[in-house]
Structure 1
Amino acid sequence: MEAPTRGPLRSALVLGFGVTGRAVATALTSRGVSVVAVDEHPTDAIRAEAASMGVELVESPSPQELTRLVSGCDLVVPSPGIPESHPIFGFADAEGVAIESEFDLADRWDSRPIVAITGTDGKTTVTTMVTAMLLASGVRSIACGNTETPLVEAISDPDIEVFVVEASSFRLATTRWFQPSVAVWLNFAPDHLDAHASLSSYESAKASIWRDLDANSGVAIASATDPVVLANRNSEVSTLTFGGAGTNADATVSDGWLCLPDGTQLIAVDELPRSFPHDIT
């Protein structure tokens, strides 16, 4: 899949002015983009933050006012967790205004490698572990995305070599283009149906982590035991699976050792601080 065509970015509407919304507004304004923020329940602290940034903050606009705001910008950036039922999505579609996530914006401005991790459970743990392993290997990396540091903020650090991105379904659902070097999908279970229109919509958001992987160099990593994850594999990219003993996974447990796909014994299970099933698979 080719990256979407992107027009000039002169003005943007940021929906929600929490941690990610503020990071997005900061990234946009620092690049000369005019920003208007919409927040339905801003606190005094949020109002003060918007004022200090020179960003117009519109509180709980009527449908007519929201339509006007959307039609007057080049791009809408919803904050993670905005329900798919929110009227802004219909207004943007009707006005022909693109919707992008913070991942899209980061892709506009940065091309350094990304390891992306999604899944209903375990995202934060695995993101933390991968970041720690990279740092221990001498690779300057940072855990970002669905953390205290949005990806669009993390890219401002020129010293980072690899971004380890916790990719929630909230972010993936509004992303037009996301091409990590490695994309991991840990597992799937019903969740977040207050934000997603349906279970199918939630699944599609998760599956999109593999949609734009480079056919030649991208690597997908999948649970060997989750049927939903396996059913969404991208046949155009290399996929490695992980799972416990007897799962026929590429990376597995064999003779009491965690083994890499090439058979290399990584560490003995009894040397791990914890060895519950979810710890080793």
Structure 2
Amino acid sequence: MQENLVILGGGESGVGAALLGKKQGFRVFLSDRGSLKEEYRTKLTQNGIEFEEGTHSEERILNADLVVKSPGIPKKAPLIEELKNRHVPIISEIEFASRYTTAKIIAITGSNGKTTTATLMHHILTQEGLNVGLGGNIGKSFAEMVVNDEYEYYVLEISSFQLDDVISFKPYIAILLNITPDHLDQYDYKLELYAQSKFKITENQNHEDYFVYNYDDNGIADLIKEINTKAKKIPFSMSTHVNDGSYADDENVTLNFPEKVELPISEFALRGKHNVSNSMAAATAANILKIRKDTIKRSLFDFTAVEHRLESVLKVGGIEFINDSKATNVNAAYYALESMKNPTVWIVGGTDKGNDYSELMPLVKKKVKAIVCLGVDNSKILDAFEGVVDNIIETNTMQDAVRSAYMFGRKGDTVLLSPACASFDLFKNYEDRGNQFKKEVKNL
């Protein structure tokens, strides 16, 4: 008898899971309380998959044998609670897809740097000529790629929400970049619950697998003593000489396992201390996979930064414009400011997420010559930095923000868009904000 597979959420991952479910012989029903994008609606219809939008038919959903849940649906939603009461297994698309592939999986999680590290990892493996897919929280649905079954390797960016719903997911290499407070509203405002969720990336690994982790991160250091991972633990560090992993000094990144490789940091395409750490994590995994030294070096040197993440746009009148629109929290803006080498005009602001700007104060005093606020309500930023920076003004359009920043700049300066806030007050999303920035820079 066919099992009933219910997919909750009709975005990229949900539709991918529906297609894979159909291929594997499930009776598939997809339900989304919102409305589906036209391309997803077409895909489902063409593949003869039943779906509904604008509602959840509870009776039909509660009759499921297995539920694949979108990471965006809160764990405490009443429908999810009721499914749990009925002991219906609830899994993520990552878990579901992993059950139907024998490909090697490199899975990357962390509070910051996931997208950059996953994209760089994919770039290294592609340069080596390997057959590799990039998915998870980035790019294509992992499940849909498994439907077509054409890859020997998968690089997956994975969020804590996706890890919450894994049962047997077992990557060959798991990478944990860092743990800083994020999404705590979904974890009873307890950092340790959020951290435990991240550690689920390694819980099913065995002694043939590898767990690459940030040796410098206090949250990871505390929990790694408690967890019982069977994987080979490979640390990477920006401050400590680790013999069984990788480490950086002022000049080089040194990979020690399984082969010794030295990589000159001055040649890295990605700028900033945090990106040296991200590059080291990817290179460590590549070394474990026995990627040739020349490929690792070339890939780190010629990699193009992820769009909207410390993306160099253009030099106008000797002033460099950098788009870091993806910096939607204070921690991400901290990394961006830390990486600035020249006097900086900082464009900041948007929808505040309860930000505390005090941790940015030393960097602002040292590096920022002017602040251009870009938001509907800039009062918190003005309160934090008035009197700290000589020039601080308010704008509420990207055109005004870019032109004002240009006026403050001099040859050799940098204009940095790193908002530390969400974008929804003036823009559709951070991509829209970054694209408008690039357009206005080109119009100068």
Shift, 1:273, TM fit: 3.0
Q: Is the 8 A contact 2:253 2:265 kept in 1?
A: yes
Shift, 1:245, TM fit: 3.7
> Which runs of structure 2 are paired with 1:79-98 in the superposition (5 Å)?
79-98=70-89
The structure with the largest helix share of the pair is 2
Work out the CA distance in 1 between the residues paired with 2:252 and 2:160: 33
Structure 2 match to 1:244: 238
Work out the CA distance in 2 between the residues paired with 1:175 and 1:87: 20
Structure 2 match to 1:271: 267
**Which among 215, 221, 224 is matched to residue 230 of structure 1?**
221
Structure 2 match to 1:257: 252
Per-residue CA deviations over 1:71-111 (Å, capped at 9, x if unaligned) read 32210111122111112221112222111111221222112
Structure 1's consecutive aligned runs of 4 or more residues displaced over 6 angstroms after TM superposition are none
Shift, 1:277, TM fit: 1.1
Work out the CA distance in 2 between the residues paired with 1:270 and 1:202: 35
Work out the CA distance in 1 between the residues paired with 2:137 and 2:12: 10
Q: Is the 8 A contact 2:11 2:36 kept in 1?
A: no
Work out the CA distance in 2 between the residues paired with 1:47 and 1:23: 12
**Which among 149, 171, 178 is matched to residue 169 of structure 2?**
178
Q: Given the alignment of the two structures, is residue 144 of structure 1 paired with residue 135 of structure 2, yes or no?
A: yes
Q: Given the alignment of the two structures, is residue 125 of structure 1 paired with residue 125 of structure 2, yes or no?
A: no
Work out the CA distance in 1 between the residues paired with 2:156 and 2:28: 25
Per-residue CA deviations over 1:36-60 (Å, capped at 9, x if unaligned) read 2221111473555544443333345
The alignment yields a C-alpha RMSD, in angstroms, of 2.3
Q: Is the 8 A contact 1:81 1:195 kept in 2?
A: no
Work out the CA distance in 1 between the residues paired with 2:37 and 2:172: 40
Question: What is the identity, as a one-letter code, of the residue corresponding to 1:13?
Answer: V
Structure 1 or 2, whichever has the larger Rg, is 2
Per-residue CA deviations over 1:201-224 (Å, capped at 9, x if unaligned) read 32222110011111x201101111
The alignment of Structure 1 onto Structure 2 pairs a total of residues equal to: 270
Q: Given the alignment of the two structures, is residue 205 of structure 1 paired with residue 197 of structure 2, yes or no?
A: yes
Shift, 1:254, TM fit: 4.1
Residue 88 of structure 1 aligns to a residue whose secondary structure is: helix
Which 10-residue stretch deviates more, 200-209 or 245-254? Answer: 245-254
Residue 138 of structure 2 aligns to a residue whose secondary structure is: coil
Work out the CA distance in 2 between the residues paired with 1:202 and 1:259: 31
Residue 120 of structure 2 aligns to a residue whose secondary structure is: helix
Structure 1 match to 2:5: 12
Which 10-residue stretch deviates more, 249-258 or 175-184? Answer: 249-258
Question: What is the identity, as a one-letter code, of the residue corresponding to 1:129?
Answer: L
Residue 36 of structure 1 aligns to a residue whose secondary structure is: strand
Per-residue CA deviations over 1:176-219 (Å, capped at 9, x if unaligned) read 121000100000111123444443432222110011111x2011
Structure 1 match to 2:33: 40
Q: Is the 8 A contact 1:257 1:265 kept in 2?
A: no
Q: Is the 8 A contact 1:119 1:188 kept in 2?
A: yes
Per-residue CA deviations over 1:123-158 (Å, capped at 9, x if unaligned) read 010001111111112221121111121211122344
Shift, 1:33, TM fit: 1.2
Q: Is the 8 A contact 2:75 2:81 kept in 1?
A: no
Q: Given the alignment of the two structures, is residue 78 of structure 1 paired with residue 69 of structure 2, yes or no?
A: yes
Work out the CA distance in 1 between the residues paired with 2:61 and 2:71: 18
Question: What is the identity, as a one-letter code, of the residue corresponding to 2:27?
Answer: S
Question: What is the identity, as a one-letter code, of the residue corresponding to 1:36?
Answer: F
TM-score relative to the length of structure 2: 0.56
Structure 1 pair 193/265, CA: closer, same or farther in 2 (3 Å)?
same
Q: Is the 8 A contact 2:44 2:51 kept in 1?
A: yes
Shift, 1:21, TM fit: 0.8
Shift, 1:24, TM fit: 0.8
Question: What is the identity, as a one-letter code, of the residue corresponding to 1:279?
Answer: N
Work out the CA distance in 2 between the residues paired with 1:194 and 1:56: 33
Which 10-residue stretch deviates more, 14-23 or 33-42? Answer: 33-42
Question: What is the identity, as a one-letter code, of the residue corresponding to 2:274?
Answer: H
Unmatched 5+ stretches in structure 2? 278-444
Structure 1 pair 255/90, CA: closer, same or farther in 2 (3 Å)?
closer
Shift, 1:272, TM fit: 2.0
